[in-house]
Amino acid sequence: MIIVMNSNAPQASIDRVVAEIERMGSKAHLSRGQFRTVIGAVGEEGVVDQTHLAALDGVEKVVPIMKPYKLASREFHEDDSVIEVGGGNTPVVKIGGSHAACIAGPCAVESEAMLNRIARHVRDGGATILRGGVYKPRTSPYSFQGLGIEALRWMRACGDELGMPICVEVMDTRQVEQMEKFVDCFQIGARNMQNFDLLREVGKTTKPVLLKRGLSASVKEWLMSAEYVLSQGNRSVILCERGIKTFEDSVRYSLDISSIPVARQWSHLPIIVDPSHAAGKRDWVGSLALAGMAAGAHGVIVEVHYNPAEAQCDGPQALLPEMFKALMEQLRQIAVVTEKEFSVPAELAVASN
Amino acid sequence: MIIVMNSNAPQASIDRVVAEIERMGSKAHLSRGQFRTVIGAVGEEGVVDQTHLAALDGVEKVVPIMKPYKLASREFHEDDSVIEVGGGNTPVVKIGGSHAACIAGPCAVESEAMLNRIARHVRDGGATILRGGVYKPRTSPYSFQGLGIEALRWMRACGDELGMPICVEVMDTRQVEQMEKFVDCFQIGARNMQNFDLLREVGKTTKPVLLKRGLSASVKEWLMSAEYVLSQGNRSVILCERGIKTFEDSVRYSLDISSIPVARQWSHLPIIVDPSHAAGKRDWVGSLALAGMAAGAHGVIVEVHYNPAEAQCDGPQALLPEMFKALMEQLRQIAVVTEKEFSVPAELAVASN
Amino acid sequence: MIIVMNSNAPQASIDRVVAEIERMGSKAHLSRGQFRTVIGAVGEEGVVDQTHLAALDGVEKVVPIMKPYKLASREFHEDDSVIEVGGGNTPVVKIGGSHAACIAGPCAVESEAMLNRIARHVRDGGATILRGGVYKPRTSPYSFQGLGIEALRWMRACGDELGMPICVEVMDTRQVEQMEKFVDCFQIGARNMQNFDLLREVGKTTKPVLLKRGLSASVKEWLMSAEYVLSQGNRSVILCERGIKTFEDSVRYSLDISSIPVARQWSHLPIIVDPSHAAGKRDWVGSLALAGMAAGAHGVIVEVHYNPAEAQCDGPQALLPEMFKALMEQLRQIAVVTEKEFSVPAELAVASN
Amino acid sequence: MIIVMNSNAPQASIDRVVAEIERMGSKAHLSRGQFRTVIGAVGEEGVVDQTHLAALDGVEKVVPIMKPYKLASREFHEDDSVIEVGGGNTPVVKIGGSHAACIAGPCAVESEAMLNRIARHVRDGGATILRGGVYKPRTSPYSFQGLGIEALRWMRACGDELGMPICVEVMDTRQVEQMEKFVDCFQIGARNMQNFDLLREVGKTTKPVLLKRGLSASVKEWLMSAEYVLSQGNRSVILCERGIKTFEDSVRYSLDISSIPVARQWSHLPIIVDPSHAAGKRDWVGSLALAGMAAGAHGVIVEVHYNPAEAQCDGPQALLPEMFKALMEQLRQIAVVTEKEFSVPAELAVASN
């Protein structure tokens, strides 16, 4: 950690900073320049409290040298993590390293029939994990809020029947225990990326966690949220880039494509993209999905509906089944260029061998 | 609601939109321009589902005319709401209309002694509501997370002794029931502004809710979150602008000063500013507080510490007691210009009469 | 154009808006809802002044229906434009439709020798247009500002020798006349995207214009700037996405990948990406370039240097020649997926026939 | 300057960085931590090239310690600068330190009669400098572009008659020489904040320069642009905060109120606010103006029109004369709180003594 003093900081302030660094068990190195004094705190960075030093008199700024996350960092885990989803009543699907996967399904589960129909469509198209919301985070209290536990049972039954692990969003700490019995993968939504109690609760479970990036979270803050889950013992976190808030208003959110190479350089965790919520409009979903894979993502999560105009949630961004199928073909080709391979649905796997 | 069709939308698409509008119980008015057809849905807007229409073939965009919130809207409640905080063991403090208030205290309660000392300082300076965190939302799982229920008891005792209602952040739905017995006002932090389950839970209580604006929430989304609380029956919501994420990196967050006149025009709810978290550095806190009041806010919430270098949380932004006192003097003068008056601490009120 | 009146707008205000619309030669259609009156202005939109209507009493907002650009719009030019660069002393390189191209070279021309060396490297790697700055927009007045006209002569000679059209940034209206004699393509930098006098001047020339997107320009504003050039008679504009300012600070600018499908849907103009300035660090340049092509771009512009540590400008983002060559291989594969083909250097073209 | 090496940087890379620092005439101090080596370059920072070091192998990041601007910095000029505007045929108006001023007038000069009428209104209201655009930067090439030189003559005549210095926007390097004969203060618009050739040209004149902040410029970049002007010999720069691009869409631009205390801490230059362009709607202009003054600004620049619906440019944000007058009264009261005083129009000054 490096402490830059104000240009006119008195000696007493410099002495105080040095004393504090040493009190915290680190060593202080002074560099006196023509205009300023800079103090380096050498030793294990975790023991030095950045905020404390920044609050001392005469300190202009404190520059941390180490990353603030550990378990999520590639410095402590050099190779790509490969996360396994499913494996109970369904095959295991791997995500990470050279393993890519497509997660698809409806935005929200609206009925058992619609779920089963869409699930078959996405499985036929090449998805290997089924998504579907049962509790929905809606900006308006007057919008459809999801069907809850009943829809969760349908998801489980449908996933088991089709051999697809299921991924479902959890919104409230009180839902974790019950949901853990049903799901193969918890999804944490963008608006809950810094709901720290929720992160801790899913961190105590044994199921993988798909962690969407917050709408205004830096890559560093995102990895800090992953660290919350990892620090509770759950080492299976999948990052998901889904777009950030910017001034551009043609799309719902701006897919931050650079977060993919950055997160991959800083962390060993796998990362996928959600082009549906970023685009907000089905016309643009395909281009964003392809871009995500080309940038190095380990897969995509997309929303599909056979009749978007009937969807109770996010219809405008849902792909039609035939669009989804065509997109998967292109995604497979892109994956080859970035040295990844998509998992294939169970029976098809047999067939293609 | 206005539906703009693509320039090449076929008649069948136009017919379908008209049919859907009528099915939803509204009337459709067509305007055929040289290049496009525009369809107005006339009637009560709430009955028409914007997302549904946007998902239909041939629709370019849907423009809502009505605000998506009702109970938070000034159209349905013309006069400023005045919210009352406290009244059990403490005096009532009013916020809204011509009533301004200053909420102050430590960022986090670190010990009973430090709490009591800071509380006296802020009361002497002119604060009438005491703040202090007992559960802390921290970006790192390795940072101080708050002292919990024990600190809550200290807050209650301290508030009672000094005649100051207390305002404490709630982070998890599981904390609401217990905290309701202690606090005079719930605070919802910026990162939880769209934690919809939490909003619903505090909406079922009888205590006022201080709702901080999310780091990337538009004013409209913020009012939608207020609507979540209001729709559960709790009509006492105080908005709090605390800065948004922008590209500017000199400050922690950019205080969005224009949100004050905008929110006041659109909503009857009172609004205060938090200059401490926006600035991130005590040098700039005062200027932002003054700006907030000048822009029409109903008060401020600021962090104070007698020894910031010892603070376990956000020391660099804590005002020293003497800085706080001087700031309150300036705030009172600004309040006069915008036709507001700060509440004064109970005994001082007697003295000044 | 649609004019939404305030909920309490008096009849006189409504009448005034109607009168103004008719005065401007358009027809007014009223829709009276339960809470508001909405007025549609039907006719050719260009004749109605949005700002004027928005300034009238009682008007809440004005919603334009038509795009504000014409010549840049796909509505008026359905097929992709194919822009031809070069053709004097060099072969013609096509960009647009199924034609992709790679523009590469040093950030700034530092000497004739370095230019010739880098130009050979990029040509060997597969670039068909040579870039190189001779006037440099630098945030600091104390940084290297470019070698000017002498460097321009070297660029021309080098391009002629290698059979590569040259693309050079113009910064000032006073440079346009002289530069036109040398360059095959003008580049307008991001900071000059709304330097309207400069846009008009290059719009009067006969050379193609590579128009970089401004750091905070919406796609719509970008197309309006293209319209400035087009409206002067120059129909050869190539859009270039190079990243926007967001809160994310890991990269220099956030490459806005969604601008590619959006601009392609709204406009017939070709679009390329600049991954170098967005990433700011060579490690991430390749991923962004691949993402851009996968999203549908018509090519890339990248910076290359054989010894980045010696570069006087933007060394950290320059690709090494061997990195560039490997990237081009991947880009060609991605291009196949999105049905495009890169132009190839002249002699190689002969060889491959 | 501090150079942080990658955690796995080999000794050869470290040696190279040290050698380069010494070659540039600075001294290198090594600190070897458990995980990384950090190298401090001690000496005059200007001599060390940050970009060069950042491009070397094994370097993770380079952290500058000194501010990149000198003449604009408070470190080199401790006291507030006081800029004098006018003094030829008009009184001198001071801006900076305890001197505040109000600049007002129409957005664009549309005719001599309208100019004279508005000028009288703003002078009566309390403005002491007259603004009015004669060349207008418009996003659309089809919008009104200003009346040019003829309007400039009207401005000069009007300013002389009323005793008000005039402030006029310059857009193109080719306009500088002629305009210098007429204006008392050049205005550089937000879109030209990084038009470096234009900055240099006005830097060579003897007239003060009102430098608007770019829509996506950090405070640091803004001061770097001021440095361009100052470095040419012109020491009279007035900063003007006018709002930045954010995700918030209720206003045209988000007035970045924190830039005022930040710029004042970092620089000695005076700073004013433009609430009109930020708000985009006259309802909110007053609140933003008051906030700006409360935050420590040295004045405001506002647009006024007696009939906004007739304005050819930005009518919705123009204040009516009576609104302007009332606002000035409030601004004077706020100025007292922040220890500033507004200049008063010449004759009124006599009258009030």
pLDDT per residue over C200-225, tens digit each? 999 999 999 999 999 999 999 999 99
- A303 vs C308: CA distance, rounded Å: 44
Write down the pLDDT at residue B348: 53
Q: Which of B218, B223, B248 to mutate to test the interface with D (most CBs of D within 10 A)?
A: B248
Closest approach of chain B CAs to the CA of C43, in angstroms?
Answer: 6
Answer whether B220 touches C (CB < 8 Å).
no
Asked if C174 lies within 8 A of D171 by C-beta distance, the reply is no
B193 vs D348 pLDDT, higher one: B193
User: Which has the closest alpha carbon to C41: C56, C72, C63, C59?
Assistant: C63
Provide mean pLDDT across the span A324-352: 86
Asked if C171 lies within 8 A of D197 by C-beta distance, the reply is yes
| Residues of A with Cβ-Cβ distance to B191 under 8 angstroms | 194-195
Asked if D31 lies within 8 A of A29 by C-beta distance, the reply is yes
Q: Which residues 306-345 of A have a C-beta within 8 angstroms of B?
A: 308-311, 313-316, 318
Answer whether A40 touches C (CB < 8 Å).
no
Q: Which of A3, A4, A5, A31 to mutate to test the interface with D (most CBs of D within 10 A)?
A: A31
**Contacts (Cβ under 8 Å, ≥6 apart) of D161:** none
| Residues of B with Cβ-Cβ distance to D248 under 8 angstroms | 218-219, 244, 256, 258-259
The region of weakest confidence among A101-115, B198-212, C339-353 is C339-353
Name the CA dihedral angle for A226, A231, A235, A241, rounded to a multiple of 10 degrees.
Answer: 0
Answer whether C220 touches B (CB < 8 Å).
no
Q: Which residue of B has its CA nearest to A57?
A: B309
Side-chain half-sphere of D312: how many Cα atoms within 13 Å?
Answer: 19
Neighbouring chains of A at 3+ CB pairs under 8 Å are: B, C, D
The region of weakest confidence among A114-118, C13-17, D252-256, D290-294 is C13-17
Asked if D29 lies within 8 A of A32 by C-beta distance, the reply is no
Write down the pLDDT at residue C22: 86
Answer whether C68 touches A (CB < 8 Å).
no
A69 vs D82 pLDDT, higher one: D82
Q: How far apart are the first and last CA of chain B?
A: 55
Write down the pLDDT at residue B33: 73
B223 vs C39 pLDDT, higher one: B223
Which of C254, C296, C338 is nearest residue A254 as measured by Cβ atoms? C254
Answer whether A137 touches B (CB < 8 Å).
yes
| Residues of A with Cβ-Cβ distance to B228 under 8 angstroms | 141
Closest approach of chain C CAs to the CA of A255, in angstroms?
Answer: 7
Asked if B257 lies within 8 A of D260 by C-beta distance, the reply is no
- A55 vs A60: CA distance, rounded Å: 9
Residue C247 has pLDDT above 90, yes or no: yes
The region of weakest confidence among A1-5, A293-297, B346-350, C241-245 is B346-350
Answer whether C2 touches B (CB < 8 Å).
yes
Backbone angle region of C299, left / alpha / beta, with phi > 0 → left and psi within -120 to 50 → alpha: left
For residue range C33-65, list pLDDT tens digits in order: 777 888 888 766 666 677 778 888 888 888 887
Closest approach of chain A CAs to the CA of B353, in angstroms?
Answer: 40
Which of C56, C197, C318 is nearest residue D172 as measured by Cβ atoms? C197
Asked if D68 lies within 8 A of C311 by C-beta distance, the reply is no
Reading chain D (353 residues) residue by residue, the pLDDT tens digits are: 888 888 888 999 999 989 888 888 888 888 887 778 888 887 666 666 777 788 888 888 888 877 889 999 998 899 999 999 999 899 999 999 999 999 999 999 999 999 999 999 999 999 999 999 999 888 888 888 889 999 999 999 999 999 999 999 999 999 999 999 999 999 999 999 999 999 999 999 999 999 999 999 999 999 999 999 999 999 999 999 999 999 999 999 999 999 999 999 999 999 999 999 999 999 999 999 999 999 999 999 999 999 988 788 888 899 999 999 999 999 999 999 999 999 998 765 444 43
The region of weakest confidence among A46-55, B217-226, C235-244, D78-87 is A46-55
Name the CA dihedral angle for D119, D122, D127, D128, rounded to a multiple of 10 degrees.
Answer: 20
Answer whether C250 touches B (CB < 8 Å).
no
Closest approach of chain C CAs to the CA of D281, in angstroms?
Answer: 9
Other Cβ atoms closer than 10 A to B261: 25
User: Which has the closest alpha carbon to D242: D287, D270, D197, D211?
Assistant: D211
Write down the pLDDT at residue C352: 41
Asked if A33 lies within 8 A of D65 by C-beta distance, the reply is yes
What average pLDDT is seen over chain B? 92
D52 vs C242 pLDDT, higher one: C242
Answer whether B201 touches A (CB < 8 Å).
no
Residue A30 has pLDDT above 80, yes or no: yes
Asked if B309 lies within 8 A of A137 by C-beta distance, the reply is no
The region of weakest confidence among A343-347, C70-74, C336-340 is A343-347
| Residues of A with Cβ-Cβ distance to B56 under 8 angstroms | 309
| Residues of D with Cβ-Cβ distance to A45 under 8 angstroms | 33, 35
- CA distances to B45, C41, C61 from C36, in Å: 11, 16, 12
Highest mean pLDDT among A193-207, B37-51, D306-320: A193-207
Asked if A55 lies within 8 A of B20 by C-beta distance, the reply is no
A211 beta partners = A188, A239
Neighbouring chains of D at 3+ CB pairs under 8 Å are: A, B, C
Q: Which residue of B has its CA nearest to C39?
A: B40
Answer whether D246 touches A (CB < 8 Å).
yes
Strand positions, DSSP E, C25-173? 27-32, 37-42, 59-63, 83-86, 92-95, 99-105, 129-131, 166-169
Q: Is the pTM of the predicted complex or chain greater than 0.80? A: yes
- A30 SS3 class: strand
Name the CA dihedral angle for C175, C176, C177, C178, rounded to a multiple of 10 degrees.
Answer: 50
Residue B155 has pLDDT above 80, yes or no: yes
Residue B162 has pLDDT above 60, yes or no: yes
Asked if D32 lies within 8 A of A38 by C-beta distance, the reply is no
| D67: exposed, middle or buried (Cβ count in 10 Å: 0-12, 13-18, 19+) | buried
Write down the pLDDT at residue A76: 80
For residue range C259-277, list pLDDT tens digits in order: 999 999 999 999 999 999 9
For residue range A245-283, list pLDDT tens digits in order: 999 999 999 999 999 999 999 999 999 999 999 999 999
Answer whether A33 touches D (CB < 8 Å).
yes
Write down the pLDDT at residue B347: 67
For residue range C292-314, list pLDDT tens digits in order: 999 999 999 999 999 988 788 88
Provide mean pLDDT across the span B136-140: 85
User: ∠ CA(B169), CA(B346), CA(B186), 5° rounding?
Assistant: 15
Strand positions, DSSP E, chain C? 2-5, 27-32, 37-42, 59-63, 83-86, 92-95, 99-105, 129-131, 166-169, 185-188, 209-212, 237-241, 271-273, 299-303, 341-342
Provide mean pLDDT across the span C316-344: 96
Write down the pLDDT at residue B314: 81
Q: Which residue of A has its CA nearest to C286?
A: A295
- B280 vs B274: CA distance, rounded Å: 11
Residue B351 has pLDDT above 80, yes or no: no
What average pLDDT is seen over chain C? 92
Write down the pLDDT at residue C223: 97
A147 vs D347 pLDDT, higher one: A147
Provide mean pLDDT across the span C241-263: 97
Asked if C43 lies within 8 A of B34 by C-beta distance, the reply is yes
Which of B38, B45, B246 is nearest residue C40 as measured by Cβ atoms? B38
* Predicted confidence band of residue A348 (pLDDT cuts 50, 70, 90): low
Provide mean pLDDT across the span C236-257: 97
Which of B55, B227, B231 is nearest residue A309 as measured by Cβ atoms? B55
| Residues of D with Cβ-Cβ distance to A7 under 8 angstroms | 75
Which of C55, C196, C313 is nearest residue D137 as measured by Cβ atoms? C196
| Residues of B with Cβ-Cβ distance to C65 under 8 angstroms | 4, 33, 36, 38
- B309 vs B303: CA distance, rounded Å: 14
- D317 SS3 class: helix
Provide mean pLDDT across the span A291-319: 92
